[in-house]
Amino acid sequence: MNRIPKHIAIIMDGNGRWAEKRGENRIKGHIKGVKSVKIVVEEAVKSKIEFLTLFAFSTENWKRPKTEINTLMKLLVSSLKDEFEELNKNNIKLNTIGNIDNLPDNVQKELDYVQNKTSKNNGMVLTLAISYGAKEEITNALKLIIKKVKNNIISIEKVDQSTINTHLYTQNLPDVDLLIRSSGEQRVSNFLLWQIAYAELYFTNIFWPDFNKLDFYQALNFYNERERRFGKTSKQIND
């Protein structure tokens, strides 16, 4: 491939429906989905992807049945414990974005522990979007900026796109190059709305628990064949 995306973001959709189609509890789909996460992380490292962001739990997901939420939180903690050594082995730095304060204390504690223990790794940055919503993120950023303007920390004339960038959860991440969504849904579901402004969007009918190495490389091949113009003409890009 001539071009590899620097930053890939994935909406891992279809766990519950995958299980329901098999007459199983939705939790079975989430458990199987963890295996797909491991596959994608491994292949992303092999492909020298610098940043990988996974939509693990949205602000809207708090509306789901309490039993499912509790199980998802337990699964998150157990996955972090199980994969901690692999993260370090592969020189992966763990990062989180979202309203982390809304998470249970034990989840926050485990996230803090793994982030601290991988903070010196300088390989791929793996970001988990947990209790995350893009509208909330942008709203919070605007509130912070308005407060600084009122307190004369910054002038309104100086507020530009870079100002907004530095007040987002993703202030240390580059914009997304490739957004992947599984399960056949073709929407972005309040995920990284600011950061995907020029991202290539790849939708697949594969449910996330069935998403494998081949599916990942098909997405990379899709990206490789795209012409990214950023408002310019093809001639300007090729000259």
The CATH number of residue 119's host domain is: 3.40.1180.10
Active site residue 13: yes
Residue 231 pLDDT greater than 90, yes or no: no
From the candidates 13, 95, 177, 215, give the one annotated as an active-site residue: 13
159: in domain:
no
Question: By three-state DSSP, how is residue 175 classified?
Answer: coil
Residue 233 pLDDT greater than 70, yes or no: no
Residue 228 pLDDT greater than 70, yes or no: no
167: in domain:
no
pLDDT in tens, 120-149: 999 999 999 999 999 999 999 999 999 999
pLDDT range class, residue 236, cuts 50, 70, 90: low
The predicted pLDDT at position 227 comes to: 74
| Domain count across the chain | 1
214: in domain:
yes
User: Among all chains, which residue has been given the structure tokens 């020029």?
Assistant: 198
37: in domain:
yes
Distances (CA, A) of 8 to 56, 177, 236: 14, 6, 26
Question: By three-state DSSP, how is residue 35 classified?
Answer: helix
152: in domain:
no
Residue 229 pLDDT greater than 70, yes or no: no
Do residues 53 and 176 lie in contact, with contact meaning Cβ atoms separated by under 8 Å? yes
From the candidates 2, 15, 61, 212, give the one annotated as an active-site residue: 61
DSSP tag of 101 = G
17: in domain:
yes
Q: Print burial letters for 97-119: b (CB count within 10 Å at least 16), e (below 16).
A: bbbbeebeeebeebbeebeeebe
88: in domain:
yes
Distance, in Å, from the CA atom of 126 to the CA atom of 79, rounded to the nearest integer, reads: 14
Residue 105 pLDDT greater than 70, yes or no: yes
Active site residue 238: no
User: What DSSP element (H or E) covers 126?
Assistant: strand 125-132
Q: How confident is the model over 160-174, as a mean pLDDT? A: 97
The structure's pTM equals 0.94
pLDDT range class, residue 2, cuts 50, 70, 90: confident
196: in domain:
yes
pLDDT range class, residue 107, cuts 50, 70, 90: very high
Q: Supply the mean pLDDT for the chain.
A: 94
Domain that holds residue 107: 7-132+177-227
